[in-house]
Structure formats: structure tokens, C-alpha cells
A and B are shown apart, each in its own frame.
Chain A
Amino acid sequence: MLFNSSVFAIFLCIVFCLYWLVFKQTKQQNVLLLLASLFFYGWWDWRFLSLICFSSVLDFAIGLALQNTQIQSKRKWLLITSIVVNIGLLFTFKYYNFFVESFITVFQTFGINLNIQTLSIILPLGISFYTFQTLSYTIDVYKRVFEPTKDIIAFMAYISFFPQLVAGPIERASNLLPQFFKKRTFDKTFALEGLKIMLWGFFKKIVIADGISVLIDPIFKSPEQYNGATLAVAGMLFAVQIYADFSGYSEIAIGTARLFAFRLMKNFNYPYFASSIIEFWKRWHISLTSWFKDYIYIPLGGNRYGLQKQIINTCIIFIISGIWHGANITFILWGIAHAFFFIPGIFLRKKIYAIPAFVNSILLIGKIFYTNCIVILLWFLFRAESMKDVTIIFSKIFSSNIFHQSVEFPVYIYILTCIVFITEWFGRTYDFAIVGIANKAPRAIRWGVYYILIYTILYYFETPLQYIYFQF
């Protein structure tokens, strides 16, 4: 079920009314949320419900087993079981074909022809997200930072919580799970803020992301047919698209959760206003980045064993991040390239001397510009469908071909993009720009803006398009 579909609108209204008007006890509400979440997921493909249930039950049982045993070696084996099974499932569904094909290619270069079959595997929606969520629970229980729950309904509801099930934010048990045990009281302001956040998310997804998608998808499908200037503009638009698509999804998820009195973590903190690559990664897909930091980077040693080790650990994280995004060499290269631009930042972190405020502002704009140039350039690796396409795109962008006349994109897309970024710039001190700015305005203006947003969404709403991050 897509957020941007009429079915979801009906589903949300029904669940919301049942949740607050019929099932008023916490346990009943948890059961409702679990059933609603399974229905939400099953709407896409009911066969994969078994997978999410299996993952949840396994980690629930391992959590209890970890609590019941004090023998370290046994605890370690339990953790390894959880990691192997969860990552194994992820590997099978997401990476099996990629590794088999890569294996065959490597052997072919040495003249050995292998006859290994690839499988026709459907990628279960959200598997990368809920696998990480369930893993974080087991690891936290293993590290004794978190007490395992004995309530399987609450645990399963936490894993499959429908607002963030298919594309995050990847919640930690320590943040989300306790909310399933607290008595939920309806807070009008909190719920209304949720609706505002959802509205802004829908605007970004339907108007900006889907609007751009229609324009640039054909360009990335056959980049050889376009000149460097067109590809460069398409790259910039893709940067806007992926942000509007994914942050839009996250905001709809966060807003939806608020309707049920749940507070999800923030997933984006205005990443395109970052003044360095390091800062960009603190602002982009925060739930995933912090997951990598807490569960891979720090256990590997983080920055505790010298600069050399820190650089190696950083590279590992970015390679894993690339692989997480997709089973394609382009994603791995995207991760490596980010590491390449991230690492120099580690050396340049310390401020050497004080500079006047106005110079600092100019410097800040320059840094933001530089950071965005790098990020946009690297998005080409992310968006290109193959290495061949990457070569074509870069060879055209870094040649005189860039000075050719670009294909003309409709002006409205630039205007709407500017509206989004100007709004977010002025609201950047708030968690959610729309809430921060709206709360300052009188009701008549505020509502006027909401109506304009709604009608703009309707004007641009066509066939619901999938969210980019669903494929991950």
C-alpha cells in the first residue's frame, strides 16, 4: 500500500478511528496496530508476511534467551544466530543474484565459464529496513543496554509498525519500543502537527519528486542520447528528486505515527544546507547513518585507535552503506567516492583561527555550494543504471559537451523546488520547517497555505509512483 494512494487514505481513517474511539486500552491498541501493519504490508504481497513474522519471532525469542542466560559464549552464539539469520535473509533476497553474477564475471575474465543459476527473486519490500530494526534490538539486548520485552504483540508491532515499515526511519528499540508500553493519550497539537508534517511530505513526494521523475527518468534510461548540459541539469534535478522523495516519505511516516501518539526519530535535517560532506552525512538518512555508526563503526573501534584505523573504519562504513543501498557496483562506488570526500574532512575539522562574521557567512555559502557540487556529482553514480552509463555521463559532463544547449525543463519545476528549499531554509532551526513556520502565522493565512498545498498536490497528482527507497 502506497502512502500516496486512495486506499491508504481510507485505511488510515479506519485505523485512526478504531485506535482512538474503539480500542482505548494500550494492549488492544497494540493488537490493532499489529494487525493494521500486517494488513498494510500484506496489501503489497501477503506471501512475505511470513518473512517479517519469522524475523520478529526469532529476535523476540533470542532476546528472551539472551536475558535468561549469563554464559557469555552462549550469549555470543545467540547474537551470531540472529545476525546470521537476518543478514542471511537479506543476502538471499537482495544480493544473491548480484554476488553470483559478479562471481561468474570474475571467473570469465580468467577464461573459466561457470554455469551457476541465478534465481528469479522478488525483493521483499522494506527488508533492509526492518532487518536493521530487529537487529538493533538483539544487539542492544546482547550489550545489556536494553531489557528485552516479554510482550510479543508489542514487539511485533514495533518491528512492523506500518508508518515506517517499508522505508524507515530505522527505529531503535530504545526509542520506539517503550512507546508501545506507555498509555497513549490523544494530544490535539501533536496530532495536528503530524498532519502538517504529512502534508509537507506529500507535497515533496507528489509535486516535486514525482514531477521530476517523469522528466529525468528517460534521460537516465539512455544518457547516450543527451548532451553534457542536459545530463548536468538532470543530475541536479535528481538530487532534488531523491531528497524530496525520501524525506517526503519519512515526513509522511513521522506525521502518521504522530496521529497514533508515537514519536519517530527525525530522518533528515536539511542535508542540502550542510557545509561539508561530514555534516551532510549527519543530516542525510540519519537513522541509517547513526545505525552504521552505533552498530558497525564504534564496534570496529571508531576513532579510538588512531587516524589510520579511523580512516579504514570510515571506508568500511561507506562501502557497507553503498552495498546496503543496492546490489550494483555503482552503489559501492558511490559509497567509496563519499568516503574519499569524507576523509579529508576528518583532518580539517579543527578551526584554526577566528574570522569575522560576514566573512564566515560568505565562507558558509561557499562551503554549502562546494558540498552540494560534490553530492550532486556523486548522485550520478547512485542514479546511473550501469557502469557504462556512469562512463557516458562523466565523459559528457567533463568535456566541451557541457557547453551545449540543455534540453528545456518546465519552469514550474524550478519554481516549486525553490519554494521547498526557501521554506526549509527559513524553517531550518525547527525539526520540521512547515510546523515551525506555520505556528507563527495567523490561522487564516496558515489554512490558506494548507489549501494551496493540497490543491497543488491534487493538480500534480497522477498515477502514484513508488518511492525510490522502496527498492532498497
Chain B
Amino acid sequence: MNGFFRHIILFLAILIILAIGIDIWISSHLRKSKSYSAGEYAVWNDIFADRIHHDILIYGSSRAWVHFSPYIIDSVTKLSTYNMGLDGQSFEVQYLRHVKIFKRHIPKIVIFSLDVFSLERDTDIYNVEQFLPYMPDYDIWKYTHRNKGFTMFDYWLPAIRYAGRRKEISLAISQIDSAQTKLYRNKGYKPIDAYWSKQVEENLQKKKERYVVIDSTLKMLFERCVAECIAKQVRVYFVYSPEHILGQKHIVNRDSILTIYSQIAKKYNVRFYDFSSEAMCLSTKYFYNASHLNSVGSELFSKKLADSLALTF
């Protein structure tokens, strides 16, 4: 029996050493990808490599990363800005980014980009591929382990999380010479050069009205995040960026969601800018769909926001 265990332990030890090597190799190459997984690797790399020392951080979902131009805000406010928006994520994963960044750097200002879906509990985590190269990490485990596709083995055993992920492995191989690839996101920001089309309009017409169920734990987490910022002497702003008028109609309880944000803003004495009733929300030329501004719209909005912010300094 002892001989058997010795044999197995030796075999597994070599297997694990090989797995660690494979894991490190795949992870380090996958991280180089600038556009895969909505370009999130670039932001995670900046966080893990401690490259974010900016004065202003923008938190939020996809509406954050396509709406807030750090370059415009930088130029107007003279404060360095980084956009930490995450595509398609509820506040849980947004909070994960907050946790990771606050362990390394405390900014002067945090802008919360608000939307109607961030406080809604999603059935599964979207775009989980973004976590793969960084997974052996307690915080990442804490905020992503509910994802149905992940097991404990994925977090704590080398290479297991890449099992069956042929696309990511191929991508890692193709990144061996990736220096020439153009950066997909700059300081976390991604302007979208797309325009409102007939298809968008048709889809909007077909879209049914929806009631967004606010998750109480996410609401608490949001509030906790605001409180943590305040406690660290960080100035907080709430911003509801422009949303096309046609898209606003589809969420039955939109007003009550905005009231929740208003109440939190009032409780913590946070300035709340609501751009969803601005004139630009009536024009389709600034949007590529009902809730997302295109590059023209985002630049205009960023300018407006930066001017408003500058007035408060």
C-alpha cells in the first residue's frame, strides 16, 4: 500500500509541476490578448500589475466603459482618469474590481456610472473568460465562485480551469508574438464607432416591457462600496449617463430604481448627475442602441460631465 501511494504521489508531483508550468504559460500569454473577452484583460493587467494610480476612477457596467472618455475628463479636470467599467456585469463583479484596486491604490474621486441592471442578480456570470488568467486569487474566488461553470478545482489546482477551453489555449498560443496588436481599450475606455440602425429600431419595437427585480444583497453591496469610499475620504459622484428615450420606456420600474440611487446619494451626501433627461437622449445620432452611446455621443457626454465635475472642485 505504501509503495502504491509513493508511486502515485511521485506521478502526481510531476503532473502538478507540469501543470503549474502549463498554467503559467497559458495565463501569461492569454493576458497579452488586447481584445479577447471585451478587452478586460488589459484592465485586469493594470490592476494586478499595480499600474492604476489615477485620481479619478469610473465604476460601472458596459455603459461606463463605452460612455466615459478618460482623455476628455483628464483634459478638462486636469486629473488623471481610468475607466474600470465592465461589460455586462452586475454590481458584484464591479465590486470585485473595487476591492482589488482599493488594496493597492486609493483614488481622489470615484464616479459610479449607474444603470437599471447593475443591482439585478444575474443567473450566471457573463464573460467569465476574463477571470481565467487571474483565478488563483481569494477575491476572485469570493465574487465569482457562484458561476455554474466553475468548481473549486478551477481556482486552486493548476491548469484545470483551462480544461476544454480550446479557444483560450489557441489564443494563448497565438499571443506569442502579440506586440503589434492594437490596444482595444485605452485606460479602460472603448469608444464604439457604430450607429443607430433600422434593425435597432425594429428590435426596440419588438422588445417587451420588463420589471427589473432589485437584489437586496447587491443593493447592500453597492451601499457598502459607497460607504467604503466615503470612509477613505474619496469624493463620490453618481452619474446616470444618457439613455435613449425609447429604451427608458421598456423598464417598468425605472423610476423606482432611480429613487433607490437618489436615496443612497442623499444618505451619503453624494452628488447625483442624471443625464437621462438631457436633449441628446432624444436624438438617435449619439447612440448605437437604446442604452449605449456611440463614440460621438460619448465624447459629447464626457465633455458635459467633465465640465460639471470641474465646477465642483
Residues of A within 8 A of B (CB): 6, 20-21, 186, 188, 191-192, 447, 450-451, 454-455, 458-463
Contact = CB atoms under 8 A, between A and B. Distances in A.
Contacts of B18: 451, 455
A451 B16 CA distance: 10
12 contacts: A21-B1, A188-B7, A191-B4, A451-B15, A455-B22, A458-B160, A458-B164, A459-B163, A459-B164, A460-B164, A460-B166, A463-B164
Contacts of A460: 164, 166
Interface in B1-28: 1, 3-4, 7, 11, 14-15, 18, 22
Chain A interface secondary structure, helix, strand, loop or mixed? helix
Interface string B159-200: 110111010010000000000000000000000000000000
A14 to B, nearest CB: 15
B4 A447 contact: no
B233 interface: no
B163 A447 contact: no
Given A186-B1, A192-B4, A455-B22, A461 B15 contact: no
Contact of B163 (A21, A192, A451, A461): A461
A451 B14 contact: yes
Contacts of A188: 1, 3-4, 7
Given A458-B162, A459-B163, A459-B164, A192 B15 contact: no
B22 A192 contact: no
Given A458-B163, A459-B169, A461-B163, 5 more contacts: A20-B1, A21-B1, A451-B15, A451-B18, A458-B160
A191 B14 CA distance: 20
Contacts of B75: none
Contacts of B1: 20-21, 186, 188
| Top 3 A-B residue pairs of the complex, sorted by shortest distance between their CB atoms | A462-B164, A458-B163, A461-B163
B254 to A, nearest CB: 37
B14 A447 contact: yes
Nearest to A464: B164
A192 B7 contact: yes
B147 interface: no
Contacts of A455: 18, 22
Contacts of B151: 6
A460 B163 CA distance: 7
A454 B159 CA distance: 12
Contacts of B22: 455
A6 B155 CA distance: 13
Nearest to A191: B4
